[in-house]
Amino acid sequence: MKKVEAIIRGNDFDRVKSALRQVGIVPLTAYPVQGRGVQGGVPPYDLLPKMKLEIVVKDKDVEKVVDVILKNARSGTPGDGKIFVTPVEDAIRIRTGERGNEALY
C-alpha cells in the first residue's frame, strides 16, 4: 500500500476528484492548506491557498493515481504543486476490522 499526497491549486480540485472517480478511485481525504514552493513572483513569506489530497491505494494503483493528478492539475506554470508517494505499513477499517488491501476500497 502507498499513500499519495498531492498539493494542488484549489481550482484544479474538482477536475482531479472527478477524474479519480472515473478511474475507480473514490476514497480520498482533502482539505484546504496554505503553503509555498520556490516559485518566483511571490514574496518569500507569503503563503498561497492550495488543496491537499491524501489517498491510500493498493500498490498496483499508484501510477494510475499519479497519472490522473498530473493530467488534471498540470498547467505547466510555477505553482502547479507536488505529489508525494510514501509506503503505508497497514490500514484497518474500524467498522469491520479488515486489514491491509481489504480495508482500502
For residue 76, what pLDDT is reported? 93
70-100 pLDDT, tens digit each: 999 999 998 899 999 999 999 999 999 999 9
Report the alpha-carbon distance of residue 95 to residue 99 in Å, rounded: 11
Domain count, the chain: 1
33-75 pLDDT, tens digit each: 999 887 767 777 889 999 999 999 999 999 999 999 999 999 9
Average pLDDT, the chain: 95
Within 13 A of 42's CA, how many CA atoms are on the CB side? 13
**Reported pTM:** 0.91
Spatial contact of 72 and 19, defined as CB atoms under 8 Å apart: yes
| Neighbour tally for 14: CB within 10 Å | 11
For residue 36, what pLDDT is reported? 85
Largest CA distance in the chain: 50
Alpha carbon of 21 to those of 24, 60, 69, 77: distances in Å? Answer: 5, 16, 12, 26
* Domain hosting residue 12, numbered range: 2-103
CATH number at residue 72: 3.30.70.120
| Total residue length of the chain | 105
